[in-house]
Chains A and B, each alone.
Chain A
Amino acid sequence: MNEAELAARVRNVTKTYRVGNLSVPAVRGVDLDIEKGAFLSLAGPSGSGKTTLLNLLGALDTATSGDIWIGGHSINGLSNKELADFRNTNLGFVFQTFNLVPVLTVIENAELPLQLRGMTDRDERRDKVEKILVEVGLGDLLDRRPNELSGGQQQRVAIARALVKNPTIVLADEPTANLDSETAREIMVLMQAMNEKFGTTFVFSTHDPLVMEYATRLVLLRDGKIESDERTEPVQNAI
């Protein structure tokens, strides 16, 4: 596949954790090309390395060996500060436990990435953030604190926070695991809609077969290796 059409390229990547003098190989030689606009589901049993691989793709951790490019940029050998800036510009994150900053309101949470990017014009920033928050259905809750929101609403904020900076990839580690099935479905529909509307690449991990149904591509991990990688026909807005 043409380099320019890739959101991410993973080559020969391994990750071995050291616990005391024990080595835990979590990712053991993964090659993966993720095309722009993909809606990719990482599946696999517990301990198969999904979170580890997502952390490597998200520049939240460094690989033991191998190379990773995001949007054509290698993230090998970047300093912590450079990695922070890289995440800020290129990567969006959605977490299983929502991970909003509790002391910030909905709109403040969502605008944080833009502030970190140095967008100092408050009106311009708020304009942009408000549009996305309306898009994810939170137009009326801008000034709420996270603890005043339901799980589904919190995850919508997280999605808005990830999308507001037009990232190359949004990485979502089990985004629906803490939600009831109905809310999980709503969140998947929302992510799918955003994927289609903005062409943003999504990579999410899940155990839930119902969630995998939304994927355009299903990658199965086992023991830190890719066992299968296939294109699938997603369900459409099965709401």
Chain B
Amino acid sequence: MPSEDLIAGKIGIGTTVRIAWRNLARSRRRTLLTASTVGFAVFLLEVLTALLIGIERQSFDNLINYQTAHAKVYAAGYFENRDELPLNFTLTSLDETEALIRAVEGVAATTSRLAFSAQLSDGVDQITSIGTGIRIRGSDSEVFRIKDAVVDGFYLEEGVEGMLLGVSLAEFFEVKSGDYLTVLLKTRDGAYEALDLEIIGLLGTGFPAIDRNGFLLPLEIAQEMLDTRGEATEIAIRFQPSAAETSVVRRLSAVLGDQSNLEIKTWKEVEEDFMALVEMKRTAQGVFLSIFVIMAIVGITNTIVMATYERTREIGTMMAMGFRPSGIRGLFLVEGALTGFVGGAIGTIVAMLVVGYFASTGIDLNALYGEIDIGYPIKDMMYPAMSMTLFLVSWVLTGILSAIASLYPATRASRLRPATALRYV
């Protein structure tokens, strides 16, 4: 049986595991020490990865809920120049286009928005910020979850003339709901406009673009001020929760394909800079944690080296009995793997308990960091992801890596001459 010969000679995997296990039990202290080191590394790996996954999921949810929706439709040319918040690439016939989009399978809701650059002023200070006109009726809150982010005052209601202001901006101006700020802007034709607006509510989304320099106001007021009646800069789309993103996007492209003046962008494309940053952080954390795990696993190499030296004469005896080189190698590979599996199991169990606890209670970011920006658009509470795949994969991988870590000493042992091994004292 060639596959069995690969690691167990003719002895079979069952007996190999039994002997390896008893040898580990024989040097219990050393086994536990090595396994604990591995366990600690696995624990760190799993907890930090669970945190990262959790933070990412929350960030993505927040992005979608507060800023990007699942996808956006722009007039051709807008997306390229979106940083300048231009007013010369706008969408018209909003109701017709929205109706067209809503008819696509997998689309849950749509809404039109008008984004523009403006100055906010309290008469003393003035600050450049991003204004967004949103539909109150029929309606922005079907696509976005801005309502949930109101931390002071109320959400906009029909007929109310006022704005929702980012919390950090409010702090800057030292205003609260009920106070007034002046909105200053330039219309598309270059004329200056100013309007005093009451602050209806404050928004704390955890999303800097809103909290630090954003304000929201009814679409009609924005259109009126900018002299862009009936126009919007984007149509935001929310998908059905069950819908597969890529296939909805494909269907949308097909429907909108006839209209060459429209562009569709998914939330990942809209936030491509953020996604690149996320990718970078993933890689950085991956590298950092891999170094940790590799260091722990080198401990296994060391332990197996010691075991092969201690048991040199025993190896000679086994060879005399007829253990093939592969059988000897298998014995030590399995010892290494078992150590890894035991350590991985310890680390994983503790990690599951810790992650499980914080996944339900959450971690209070303010208590941890105060108001410091952690570089992800999340706020107040952070929830690590209780991912069984993560735990299972990292446990199994630890065992496999541990076997690989034992490959060198195990192979060295298997190449001993029986006579030499038997002479060893």
A residues sitting closer than 8 Å to B (CB atoms) are: 55, 58, 60-61, 80-81, 84-85, 87-89, 91, 93, 95, 97, 99-104, 112-113, 115-118, 120, 161
Let me know if B350 is at the binding interface, CB within 8 A.
Answer: no
Instruction: Tell me, in angstroms, the Cα distance from A161 to B317 when the chains sit together.
Output: 12
Residues of A within 8 A of B321 (CB): 87-88, 93, 112-113, 116, 161
Residues of B within 8 A of A60 (CB): 316, 319-320, 417-419, 422
- Interface window among B15-23, B51-59, B96-104: B15-23
B residues sitting closer than 8 Å to A (CB atoms) are: 9-12, 15, 19, 22-23, 25-26, 313-314, 316-327, 415, 417-420, 422
Instruction: Tell me, in angstroms, the Cα distance from A112 to B318 when the chains sit together.
Output: 9
Residues of B within 8 A of A80 (CB): 324-325, 415
- The interface centre, meaning the residue of A85, A88, A104, A113 with most chain B CB atoms within 10 A of its CB, is A88
Q: Which residue of chain A has the shortest Cβ distance to B320 in the bound complex?
A: A93
3 closest Cβ contacts across the A-B interface? A88-B322, A61-B419, A103-B22
Chain B nearest CB: distance from A151 CB in Å? Answer: 16
Residues of B within 8 A of A95 (CB): 317, 422
Please tell me if the beta carbons of A113 and B322 are within 8 angstroms of each other in the complex.
yes
Please tell me if the beta carbons of A116 and B26 are within 8 angstroms of each other in the complex.
no
Instruction: Tell me, in angstroms, the Cα distance from A60 to B322 when the chains sit together.
Output: 10
Q: Which residue of chain B has the shortest Cβ distance to A87 in the bound complex?
A: B322
Please tell me if the beta carbons of B320 and A115 are within 8 angstroms of each other in the complex.
no
Chain A nearest CB: distance from B161 CB in Å? Answer: 84
Instruction: Tell me, in angstroms, the Cα distance from A81 to B325 when the chains sit together.
Output: 6
Residues of B within 8 A of A88 (CB): 10, 321-322
Known contacts being A101-B19, A103-B19, A116-B9, is A58 close to B326, with CB within 8 Å? Answer: no
Contact of B314 among A81, A102, A118 (CB under 8 A): A102
| Interface SS of chain B | helix
Ordered by A's residue number, 11 sampled pairs between the chains whose C-beta atoms are within 8 Å are A60-B319, A81-B326, A85-B10, A88-B322, A93-B317, A93-B320, A93-B321, A102-B26, A103-B23, A112-B318, A115-B12
Extra contacts, 16 of them, besides A58-B320, A99-B317, A116-B322 (Cβ < 8 A), are A55-B418, A55-B419, A60-B419, A81-B326, A84-B9, A84-B327, A85-B10, A87-B321, A88-B10, A95-B317, A95-B422, A99-B313, A101-B19, A103-B25, A115-B11, A116-B9
Instruction: Tell me, in angstroms, the Cα distance from A58 to B419 when the chains sit together.
Output: 9
Residues of B within 8 A of A103 (CB): 19, 22-23, 25-26
Chain A nearest CB: distance from B373 CB in Å? Answer: 57
Please tell me if the beta carbons of B422 and A84 are within 8 angstroms of each other in the complex.
no
Please tell me if the beta carbons of B325 and A116 are within 8 angstroms of each other in the complex.
no
Please tell me if the beta carbons of B417 and A61 are within 8 angstroms of each other in the complex.
yes
Residues of B within 8 A of A97 (CB): 313
Chain B nearest CB: distance from A122 CB in Å? Answer: 10
Chain B nearest CB: distance from A62 CB in Å? Answer: 8
Residues of B within 8 A of A120 (CB): 12
Please tell me if the beta carbons of A116 and B418 are within 8 angstroms of each other in the complex.
no
Please tell me if the beta carbons of B318 and A117 are within 8 angstroms of each other in the complex.
no
Chain B nearest CB: distance from A64 CB in Å? Answer: 13
Chain A nearest CB: distance from B318 CB in Å? Answer: 7
Chain A nearest CB: distance from B108 CB in Å? Answer: 61
Instruction: Tell me, in angstroms, the Cα distance from A95 to B424 when the chains sit together.
Output: 13
Chain B nearest CB: distance from A203 CB in Å? Answer: 14
Please tell me if the beta carbons of A104 and B19 are within 8 angstroms of each other in the complex.
yes
Chain A nearest CB: distance from B174 CB in Å? Answer: 76
Known contacts being A84-B324, A87-B320, A161-B321, is A116 close to B419, with CB within 8 Å? Answer: no
Residues of A within 8 A of B318 (CB): 101, 112
Residues of A within 8 A of B322 (CB): 84-85, 87-89, 113, 116-117
Instruction: Tell me, in angstroms, the Cα distance from A103 to B16 when the chains sit together.
Output: 12
Residues of A within 8 A of B11 (CB): 115-116
Chain B nearest CB: distance from A239 CB in Å? Answer: 29
